[in-house]
């Protein structure tokens, strides 16, 4: 029979309608599943009480799929059919994988994503990940006594669209309904309840078994935005073990160890590292296969000394991430520690010193990401009151429209929370213009050519009017799923045209961050370019207007005056050709002055014509 959990006030579920939802940390080395039970987030252990599930999948001779510790134990005996760290291959083609030669797997290049050849056939990383997720799902369903309505699965902040899609596909293959993919650093911040706390900038320092990631998050209005990420994909707790291992070899003067002894000493090294988290020193003893005994005393001081360079190595990406986010260490409101390796006191100390504050370490660093995902899943499954709804989605890049001269006018600025709708009025540039092209752009730069083109459409049927008289209202609307629809409507006649686009489609996080960095880097250049374009647009407008006037009322000028005006127009043309803002502006000024007298005469004539033949009483 099902056991009950305590619900939030007024939210008791009807029988058999519990909205069971879990958070899953699908890690490179280990994976976890967590849920919110009776109001508190908790990691679900397996039947032996172990929270972690090693992200290792083995395809056996008997055609079974073994996941976790049992698969890990066979890793060295059956390397070809035991897949570890499959996350590194998610959404990756063969060309993207760096050390193909060093990897024990037989890769098969497949369209879109690489595949691994095992005795169970060619397995795509999606299928291998699905096997891990399936194990977690059944653990969750056994623990919660029912079917899951959905899961929040975490992914690294730097995962691109292909990697995210691959993760979603794996979940679907495992029979999980993905409520949302959540960035790992955001999940960690949520686990610490930072989303309910003060707005500001937070750093998530994630030192796992084999990877290091650092992310800078900005919290505003309960929404986390990833400002920057950095890291080192081959730096982690294992490197600390290796330093101790090397120290053992050096101290005991050992050379050319066999595989068994190497593994034995690496295990000793890891145990020593873990012991030093609690104790000032630890004894390392091992009996090697040739009968030799290793017996050494490793103190914290020595360990700190031999691993200092590793910690310094983590601070480089930290510095880079802060620089990319354009903030200093003193601007950081809180530092969240994630990953088992952050248990080491000297790592915490170094990070604390760098930021001038004690990092957050009171949650288990191995579990914190899964816990945050569980909290998010609980909210998304509808087990929390309305007022506690989390807003999480923002527009990553501004959405704008092309205006005359190849300039981008932003309509919805980046970081607007969705859903959102903004409208702006535009007008025609030429007399009698009956159509207007609406070009939808994404990006932060001033020039159209530097932004990404999303879609184009034409509004036709604008009634002929003088330039500037038409009022065209362009509305940008992004719904909760990130779908953008753009409508253009001429206000006086009511003619309308619209289009729907997916703004984030095909744009990876890398591209997004590159576009953001570019926009900051080129800000000066862009402003200058914008000024020039605007000057040229003005100049061309003036030339067009003058030419039209000359065609209509050229007879008002004598040949001298006409020659002067033509010269001023020619002067403006050549000023435009120089592409210098100052020259263009000066020439525009000259032409505009030269036409003053002409404009006055035209005005007189127009008035005379308008008045001709009309009785004074009718005016």
Partner 1 sequence: MAITLSESAAKHVSNFIAKRGKGLGIRLGVKTSGCSGMAYKLEFVDTANDEDITFLSHGVTVFTDAKSLAYLEGTELDYTKEGLNEGFKFNNPNVKDECGCGESFNV
For residue 378, the minimal CB distance to partner 1 (Å) is: 12
9 binds partner 1 (CB under 8 A): yes
- CA pair distance 596, 603, nearest whole angstrom: 11
Would you name the residues annotated as active-site residues? Answer: 25, 87, 184, 206
For residue 130, the minimal CB distance to partner 1 (Å) is: 21
For residue 33, the minimal CB distance to partner 1 (Å) is: 11
Closest to 219 measured CA to CA, from 178, 241, 188, 176: 188
- CA pair distance 593, 599, nearest whole angstrom: 10
Which residues, 6+ apart, have CB-to-CB distance to 167 below 8 Å? Answer: 26, 90, 91, 129, 153, 155, 159, 181
For residue 142, the minimal CB distance to partner 1 (Å) is: 4
Q: What is the dihedral of CA 154, 160, 161, 167, to 10 degrees?
A: -40
3-state secondary structure of 551: helix
- CA pair distance 290, 274, nearest whole angstrom: 27
Nearer to partner 1, 143 or 201 (CB): 143
Q: Which residues of 123-132 are buried (b: 16+ CB within 10 A; e: fewer)?
A: bbbbbbbbbb
| From candidates 8, 388, 496, 500, binder to partner 1 by CB under 8 A | 8
Evaluate whether 302 touches 276 at the Cβ level (below 8 Å).
Answer: no
Question: Site mask, partner 1, residues 97-136, x = CB under 8 A?
Answer: ----------------------------------------
Evaluate whether 23 touches 366 at the Cβ level (below 8 Å).
Answer: no
147 binds partner 1 (CB under 8 A): no
423 binds partner 1 (CB under 8 A): no
For residue 143, the minimal CB distance to partner 1 (Å) is: 4
For residue 7, the minimal CB distance to partner 1 (Å) is: 5
Evaluate whether 307 touches 240 at the Cβ level (below 8 Å).
Answer: yes
> Among the candidate windows 1-9, 223-231, 437-445, 537-545, which touches partner 1 by CB under 8 A?
1-9
Name residue, tokens 């397995």.
Answer: 123
1 binds partner 1 (CB under 8 A): yes
145 binds partner 1 (CB under 8 A): yes
Nearer to partner 1, 10 or 494 (CB): 10
5 binds partner 1 (CB under 8 A): yes
> Among the candidate windows 141-149, 439-447, 495-503, 610-618, which touches partner 1 by CB under 8 A?
141-149
> Among the candidate windows 7-15, 238-246, 298-306, 360-368, which touches partner 1 by CB under 8 A?
7-15
Strand partners, 476: 422, 486
Nearer to partner 1, 155 or 368 (CB): 368
Which backbone phi and psi does 359 adopt, to 5 degrees? -70, 160
> Among the candidate windows 12-20, 55-63, 332-340, 462-470, which touches partner 1 by CB under 8 A?
12-20
Q: 506: exposed, middle or buried (C-beta count within 10 Å: 0-12, 13-18, 19+)? A: exposed
For residue 38, the minimal CB distance to partner 1 (Å) is: 4
CB atoms < 10 A from the CB of 356, how many?
10
Evaluate whether 66 touches 90 at the Cβ level (below 8 Å).
Answer: no
Nearer to partner 1, 12 or 76 (CB): 12
Closest to 499 measured CA to CA, from 508, 513, 489: 489
Name residue, tokens 């104790």.
Answer: 279
> Among the candidate windows 138-146, 346-354, 405-413, 556-564, which touches partner 1 by CB under 8 A?
138-146
For residue 136, the minimal CB distance to partner 1 (Å) is: 12
Closest to 56 measured CA to CA, from 9, 121, 92, 105: 105
11 binds partner 1 (CB under 8 A): yes
| From candidates 31, 82, 129, 143, binder to partner 1 by CB under 8 A | 143
| From candidates 70, 119, 121, 142, binder to partner 1 by CB under 8 A | 142
| From candidates 33, 144, 226, 539, binder to partner 1 by CB under 8 A | 144
Nearer to partner 1, 4 or 600 (CB): 4
15 binds partner 1 (CB under 8 A): yes
Q: Which residues of 398-415 are buried (b: 16+ CB within 10 A; e: fewer)?
A: bbbbbbbbbbbebbbebe
Question: Site mask, partner 1, residues 21-60, x = CB under 8 A?
Answer: ----------------xxxx---xxxx-------------
For residue 368, the minimal CB distance to partner 1 (Å) is: 15
Contacts with partner 1, residue ranges (CB under 8 A): 1-12, 14-16, 37-40, 44-47, 139, 142-145
């Amino acid at each position: 029979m099902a056991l009950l959990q305590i619900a939030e006030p007024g939210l008791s579920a009807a029988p058999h309608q519990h909205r069971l939802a879990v958070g899953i940390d699908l890690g490179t080395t280990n994976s976890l599943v967590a849920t919110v039970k009776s109001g508190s987030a908790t990691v679900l252990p397996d039947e032996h009480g172990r929270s972690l599930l090693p992200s290792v999948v083995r395809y056996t001779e008997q055609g079974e799929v073994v996941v976790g510790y049992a698969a890990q134990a066979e890793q060295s005996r059956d390397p070809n059919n035991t897949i570890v760290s499959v996350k590194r291959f998610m959404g990756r083609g063969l060309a993207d994988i760096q050390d193909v030669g060093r990897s024990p797997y037989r890769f098969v290049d497949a369209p879109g994503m690489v595949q691994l050849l095992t005795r169970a056939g060619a397995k795509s990383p999606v299928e291998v990940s699905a096997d891990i997720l399936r194990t977690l799902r059944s653990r969750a369903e056994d623990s919660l006594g029912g079917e899951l309505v959905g899961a929040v699965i975490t992914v690294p902040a730097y995962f691109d669209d292909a990697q995210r899609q691959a993760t979603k596909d794996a979940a679907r293959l495992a029979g999980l309904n993905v409520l949302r993919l959540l960035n790992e650093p955001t999940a960690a911040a949520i686990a610490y309840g930072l989303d309910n706390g003060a707005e500001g900038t937070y750093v998530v320092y994630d030192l796992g078994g084999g990877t290091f990631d650092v992310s800078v998050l900005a919290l505003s209005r309960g929404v986390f935005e990833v400002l920057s990420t950095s890291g080192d994909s081959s730096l982690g707790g294992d490197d600390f073990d290796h330093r101790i291992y090397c120290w053992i070899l050096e101290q005991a003067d050992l050379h050319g160890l066999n595989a068994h002894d190497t593994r034995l000493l690496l295990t000793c090294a890891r145990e020593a590292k873990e012991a030093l988290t609690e104790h000032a020193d630890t004894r390392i003893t091992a009996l090697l296969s040739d009968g030799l005994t290793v017996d050494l005393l490793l103190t914290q001081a020595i360990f700190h000394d031999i691993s200092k360079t590793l910690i310094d190595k983590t601070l480089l990406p930290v510095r880079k991430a802060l620089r990319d986010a354009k903030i200093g260490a003193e601007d950081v409101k809180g530092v969240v520690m994630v990953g088992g390796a952050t248990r080491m006191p000297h790592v915490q100390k170094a990070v604390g010193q760098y930021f001038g504050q004690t990092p957050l370490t009171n949650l288990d660093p191995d579990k914190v990401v899964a816990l945050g995902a569980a909290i998010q899943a609980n909210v998304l499954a509808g087990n929390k009151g309305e007022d506690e709804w989390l807003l999480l989605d923002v527009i990553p890049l501004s959405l704008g429209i092309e205006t005359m001269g190849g300039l981008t006018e932003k309509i919805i600025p980046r970081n607007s929370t969705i859903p959102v709708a903004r409208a702006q009025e535009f007008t025609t540039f030429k007399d009698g213009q009956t159509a207007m092209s609406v070009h939808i752009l994404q990006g932060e730069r001033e020039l159209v050519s530097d932004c990404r083109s999303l879609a184009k459409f034409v509004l036709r049927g604008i009634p002929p009017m003088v330039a500037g008289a038409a009022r065209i209202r362009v509305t940008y609307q992004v719904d909760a799923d990130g779908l953008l629809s753009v409508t253009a409507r001429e206000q006086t006649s009511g003619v309308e045209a619209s289009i729907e686009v997916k703004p984030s489609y095909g744009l990876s996080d890398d591209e997004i961050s590159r576009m953001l960095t570019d926009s900051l880097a080129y800000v000066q250049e862009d402003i200058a370019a914008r000024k020039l374009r605007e000057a040229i647009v003005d100049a061309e407008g003036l030339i067009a207007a003058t030419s039209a006037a000359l065609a209509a009322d050229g007879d008002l000028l004598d040949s001298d005056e006409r020659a002067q005006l033509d010269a001023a127009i020619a002067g403006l043309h050549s000023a435009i050709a120089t592409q210098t803002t100052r020259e263009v502006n000066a020439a525009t000024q000259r032409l505009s002055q030269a036409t003053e007298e002409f404009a006055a005469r035209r005005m007189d004539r127009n008035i005379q014509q308008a008045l001709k033949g009309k009785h004074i009483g009718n005016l």
